[in-house]
Structure 1
Amino acid sequence: MTGRIALLTFHRRVDYGSYWQTRCLLAGLARRGHAAVVADHASDHVRRAELACALAPLGDGPAARADVPDKVARIRAFRRAVAELPLSKRFDIARPETMEPADLALFGGDEIWNPHHPWYGGAPLFFGGGVPARRYVAYAAGAGGHDATLGFDADRSARLGAFADVSVRDDNTRRLCRDATGREPEIVLDPCLQFPPPHEAPDAEGPPCIVVYGHGFPRWFADAVVAFARRRALPIVGVGHRSAVADEQRLAAGPEEFRRLMASAAAVVTNVFHGCVFALAFGRPFVAAASPARRDDLRDLVALVGAQHHVVDETRAATVDTVLSAPADAVVRRRIEALRARSDAFLDRVLG
């Protein structure tokens, strides 16, 4: 058996994807008989930066006074949810050597290897620096918006070279790791798609609605979504971010409310990676407008599962209606099942 497993990720981010990929991976490991803990790193600088971002996230502009109570409620909902996770003894992010020792340090998350992340990017911890573990392994690690053409510096490359095994969640991160280490990492599914969250009946969150998750949508895209919603007499619910097209805002939604909304949505509209992941995991129709800041991970995901037609640009605005009318087809579902088998095989190999 592997022994004590410590999961290193951005588990305290006020972000649905960060929370759920942590929780889903823990659940997947538990089903395999492995009781992992989350390495509970802490930093006053990170805490302040995270709070500032949660109160006025990118794309919202200055926090509207009327929205502040809902945003505070969301922060508290995340804190309660994180407190329910199996956490290690808390330690200073700048002193990884004080972390509780582990037999296996398992690294993962959508931006864990982004050296330019505004508050986590400088921490050696996420590349294994000083982590007291016998083996380092990565499952579904990502480099966020750090383009493969920029590479990693010599120190980060050397640290990744010390990993026993590496798997990534997108082609951009694959190229980064290959160039840094000379080894070809395997591409696996994000934990939320590999080990989907619980899925209640479609009406668990009330009447059907279109869920909008993301921000900064172009006008042509927003207009097409609103036209579809009006033709189908479906309300539009914005979750997490204030949406100009939404009939109802769910700014206070915590991780569980987000999950229920996504699971019961008549359709999902997004421009973020985990918006697509949750729609695929729950078999919901979805359409995405690719954002330049997320061009790699979102497009890599849909290419990986064969769902490229769900990402539209202005030249394909007329297809929004068709794409939102049906979930991913059988070809996509078969591709996901094949990728689940491949991801399981990777975990079998590294966990023993």
Structure 2
Amino acid sequence: MAEGLASMGVEAVLLEHMSDRVNRAEWRCALQPLLPAATVTEDYPLYKAKMRKFFQSFARLPLSPSFPLENPAAMDDYSLIVVGSDEVWNLRHPWYGGYPVFYGDGLRCRRIVSYAATFGSLASSARLEGWAEKLRKFSHISVRDLHSERIIRETLGLEPELVLDPCLQFPLTMKASRDDGEAASYIAVYGHSFPTWFQDTVRRWAGDRDYPLVSIGYRNDWADEQWIDAGPEDFASFISEAKAVVTNFFHGCVFSLVNEKPFACVFSDYRSNKIRDLTRLVRAEHHVLTEDTTLSNLDVILGNPLPPGISQRISSLRDTSNAYLSHALQ
């Protein structure tokens, strides 16, 4: 998001909020991402190496002076703060849920706007009692999914703008550099805790075509190879060079779309809202697999380029998102 704003001529920094409680929660998740399944002993060094690569990437970001997440009064003053994207309004988020700063409380600025914010897995607007009214101090509100759009409409009586996630909105910023040669022959696997039927269907399809399944970032024993210690730049390049992508993560779908890669996804309990609405938004609903998906269906999905209608829809949404940002930043 910060790089995208910079490409629009805006001087932007990421607000570097710090919290020991959040850090502990993130580190536990990074080392034990498959809970309730335990991390196998030999994977701990790989997850630690992955964390170090992320810390190195963080250090290169345009960061503000740090301040306590619980005490935004310690932050510098800004003329405008953009809240978002991602699950900034998800009160059920395992470590960020319930922090008033994401609803605008205590921010030291003249104006607050949101960009591509989402309530994530928060199921109902009824859970927002005492929180929704805080959003009225925002001068402009945009969300990235239909679920969040509905919650804003029901609680505030407003029509928020529906915009693209920054990774889709600013593709030249996110796209990894690569050779112009033909795509590699592996299938990228991104995510974890896939249902057994999904694993079996994907393995049969890939095996019939001699495509190795390579899992990045997490252990998936049903894949042929594991690349657990990949960093963020590794990930971007890996997806850009894959033959196709299978995922149950929102950004697995997003990076597939950025790189115009065939992809197949499946819902998980925590991410169902995000993936469902993203695929609806860009008219890629048929890329969501169900237990009824056959191998011939999967071959149509993964064995062919993305339909041109998806790229056309994304292009249209980029225009809408640019118009929103141009107006909100004034």
Taking structure 2 as the reference length, what is the TM-score of the superposition?
Answer: 0.95
Indicate the SS of the match to 1:37: coil
Equivalent residue runs for 1:72-83 within 5 Å: 72-83=48-59
Match of 2:229 among 236, 252, 272: 252
C-alpha displacement of 1:158: 1.7
Indicate the SS of the match to 1:122: coil
The match for 2:161 is 186
Letter in 2 for 1:259: A
Identical-pair percentage: 43
C-alpha displacement of 1:203: 7.3
Instruction: Please say if 1:326 is aligned against 2:304.
Output: yes
Deviations along 1:106-158, whole A, 9 cap, x unmatched? 0112211111112111211111110001001000001111113444122x212
Taking structure 1 as the reference length, what is the TM-score of the superposition?
Answer: 0.89
Change in Cα spacing, 1:150 to 1:308, as seen in structure 2 (3 Å) is: same
* Contact in 2 for aligned 1:193/1:280 (Cα 8 Å): yes
Higher mean alpha-carbon deviation, 328-337 vs 309-318, is at 309-318
Runs (4+) off by over 2 Å: 148-151, 198-208
Q: How far apart are the structure 2 equivalents of 1:177 and 1:61?
A: 36
Instruction: Please say if 1:234 is aligned against 2:211.
Output: yes
Match of 1:163 among 114, 120, 138: 138
* Contact in 2 for aligned 1:148/1:172 (Cα 8 Å): no
- Flag structure 2 segments of 5+ consecutive residues without an equivalent: none
Change in Cα spacing, 1:46 to 1:270, as seen in structure 2 (3 Å) is: same
Letter in 1 for 2:25: A
Instruction: Please say if 1:277 is aligned against 2:249.
Output: no
The match for 1:132 is 108
Instruction: Please say if 1:310 is aligned against 2:287.
Output: yes
- Flag structure 1 segments of 5+ consecutive residues without an equivalent: 1-24
Q: How far apart are the structure 1 equivalents of 2:246 and 2:35?
A: 16
How many residues align? The count is 327
* Contact in 2 for aligned 1:307/1:332 (Cα 8 Å): yes
Deviations along 1:191-238, whole A, 9 cap, x unmatched? 011112133236789943100011121222111111121122111110
Instruction: Please say if 1:26 is aligned against 2:12.
Output: no
Equivalent residue runs for 1:93-104 within 5 Å: 93-104=69-80
Deviations along 1:143-181, whole A, 9 cap, x unmatched? 111113444122x21210110001000011111222222
Q: Please give the root-mean-square deviation of Cα atoms over the aligned residues, in Å.
A: 1.6
